[in-house]
Amino acid sequence: MICNKDKCTGCYACYNACPKECIMMQEDDNGHIYPKVRKENCINCRLCYSVCQSLSNVKFNEPKKAYACWALNNLERETSTSGGAASVFSRNVLKKNNGIVFGAAVINKDVQHIRVEDQGDLVKLKGSKYVQSKIGNTYKQAKMDLDNNKEVLFIGTPCQIAGLKKYLKKVYSNLLTIDIICHGVPSYKMLSDYIKSNGDVNFDNIIFRDKDGFNFKLLDNNKVVFSETMKESLYYRGFMEALFYRENCYECKYATRKRVSDITIGDFWGIGEENEFLKSTKGGVSVLLPCTEKGLDFIYKCQDDMFLEERSIDEAIKGNDQLRHSSIKNKNYNKFKELYNIGGFNYAALKCMRKEIFLGKLKEILYKNEFTHNLARGIKKIVIKNN
């Protein structure tokens, strides 16, 4: 290991930086990816240490403004996880001569970062991926594009953006970075094991959210071949309960209002609870936090394609826990890891979430009855008001 295992983000900066390609990214027992140095090929240049974000300081910036936003194109908004901001930004970059976008996509039943230079391929980057994507050699590709004077947009989790910047080692005027507000990342091995437990399903895309809400779906040629709600999905429920993220996610130094990218985007949770906001009902609402002048200028350049309303930064921070603190480790985290290696994903998840599953089913029964539904809503309002 290059840094302590519990601090490693799996960002691939060391993998991309090694001049002898002697660093391999390997899965541990739970599928989380970590670097391993093949010492027989190592020339002790220590470039891997110099680009490790866990071994050096990372520059953070306070948000300059906060915006509520959505794409004006209804189809773009309706087919996006939130308000479609990432799609608008990506399209505008590709409109430019030599524009390139990097982001996470489902490729060959895996989730990995890819390079996109054609508008038609942007659909591959749509939607949230509630799993860690593999960066691969996209940092190298991005550097090559930047050195060739191409306009590059790189979208990822905060630690992936930090990894890119540490790898590049200098500021590029033709690079725009966007980070996604992140809860934490499970391993793809866990997701793959869960999918396999539901049968031998052939798929080419994974959906975690659609226009109907939080639903887990597998698609093949744009046709749904497997579907379940968040409450029905053991993987989805475990993700929301912070049961199986990688270790560093629970002490994430990027879970703060200060950000590492030019723009932070996500859902604008809690908007309008304190100050009135007329929300369109045709889709989600994105939050935009420009943290550099470059990010702010780029938002202005894209404003003809978006609804934009400036909101207070405090409202945006209050609505997103991950802009204030890391996800809280589930009390059964260690138990899950142990059971996962004994009996597999479903076995471990069922053992660790019995209470949550029971309460979820009880809540569903109560909410189907009009009287108990209204009673529960009334109690919830009283609790919120008193807090």
SS (H, E, C) 154-210: EEECHHHHHHHHHHHCCCCCCEEEEEECCCCCCCHHHHHHHHHHCCCCCCCEEECCE
Q: What is the pLDDT of residue 358?
A: 63
**Burial 268-297, CB ≥16 within 10 A → b, else e:** beebeeeeeeeeeeebbbbbbbbbbeebbe
Are the beta carbons of 162 and 138 closer than 8 angstroms? Answer: no
Tokens (6 digits) for 73: 């194109």
Q: What is the pLDDT of residue 54?
A: 93
pLDDT band at 354 (very low <50, low <70, confident <90, very high): confident
Euclidean distance between CA atoms 35 and 49, whole angstroms: 12
Sheet bearing 263-267, strands edge to edge:
110-116, 99-107, 151-156, 175-180, 263-267, 286-290, 66-71, 306-311
Question: Which position has the higher pLDDT, 148 or 284?
Answer: 148
Calculate mean pLDDT across residues 183-194.
Answer: 96
Label residue 186 exposed, middle or buried (CB < 10 Å: 0-12, 13-18, 19+).
buried
**pLDDT exceeds 60 at position 386:** no
User: How many Cα atoms are found within 13 Å in the side-chain-facing hemisphere of 289?
Assistant: 28
Q: What is the pLDDT of residue 9?
A: 97
Q: Which amino acid is at 147?
A: D
Q: What is the tens place of the pLDDT at every residue in 1-13?
A: 899 999 999 999 9
Q: What percent of the chain has pLDDT over 70?
A: 91
Q: What is the pLDDT of residue 368?
A: 63
Place of tokens 């601090």: 7
Lowest-confidence range among 66-80, 88-102, 235-249, 323-337? 66-80
Are the beta carbons of 116 and 150 closer than 8 angstroms? Answer: no
Q: What is the pLDDT of residue 81?
A: 78
pLDDT band at 337 (very low <50, low <70, confident <90, very high): very high
Euclidean distance between CA atoms 255 and 159, whole angstroms: 10
Q: What is the pLDDT of residue 209?
A: 87
Residue ranges and CATH numbers for the domains of the chain are: 5-50 (3.30.70.20), 66-323 (no CATH), 353-387 (no CATH)
Distances 27 to 10, 163, 190 between C-alpha atoms, Å: 10, 19, 11
Coil vs helix vs strand at 362: helix
Q: What is the pLDDT of residue 42?
A: 93
Euclidean distance between CA atoms 197 and 234, whole angstroms: 11
Q: What is the pLDDT of residue 385?
A: 53
Label residue 192 exposed, middle or buried (CB < 10 Å: 0-12, 13-18, 19+).
middle
**pLDDT, averaged across the chain:** 91
Euclidean distance between CA atoms 358 and 352, whole angstroms: 12
Tally of residues, the chain: 387
Give the Cβ contact number of residue 163 at 10 Å. 28
Calculate mean pLDDT across residues 50-59.
Answer: 94
Pseudo-torsion of CA 337, 343, 346, 350, nearest 10°? -70
Are the beta carbons of 163 and 248 closer than 8 angstroms? Answer: no
Question: Which position has the higher pLDDT, 211 or 348?
Answer: 348
Calculate mean pLDDT across residues 115-119.
Answer: 95
Question: Among residues 336, 330, 346, 345, which one has the least CA distance to residue 242?
Answer: 330
Q: What is the pLDDT of residue 187?
A: 97
pLDDT band at 380 (very low <50, low <70, confident <90, very high): low
**pLDDT exceeds 70 at position 199:** yes
Euclidean distance between CA atoms 300 and 387, whole angstroms: 38
Nearest-10 crossing angle of helices 85-95, 293-301: 80
Euclidean distance between CA atoms 252 and 250, whole angstroms: 6
What would you report as the CA-atom Rg of the chain, rounded to the nearest whole angstrom?
21
User: How many Cα atoms are found within 13 Å in the side-chain-facing hemisphere of 182?
Assistant: 31
Lowest-confidence range among 44-58, 85-99, 272-286, 291-305? 272-286
**pLDDT exceeds 70 at position 378:** no
Distances 175 to 57, 90, 207 between C-alpha atoms, Å: 21, 13, 29
pTM, entire model: 0.91
Q: What is the pLDDT of residue 162?
A: 98
Q: What is the pLDDT of residue 377?
A: 63
Residues 6+ apart with CB under 8 A from 202: 220, 225
Dihedral sign of CA atoms 348, 353, 357, 362 in order? positive
Q: What is the pLDDT of residue 279?
A: 66
**pLDDT exceeds 80 at position 375:** no
Q: What is the pLDDT of residue 313?
A: 96
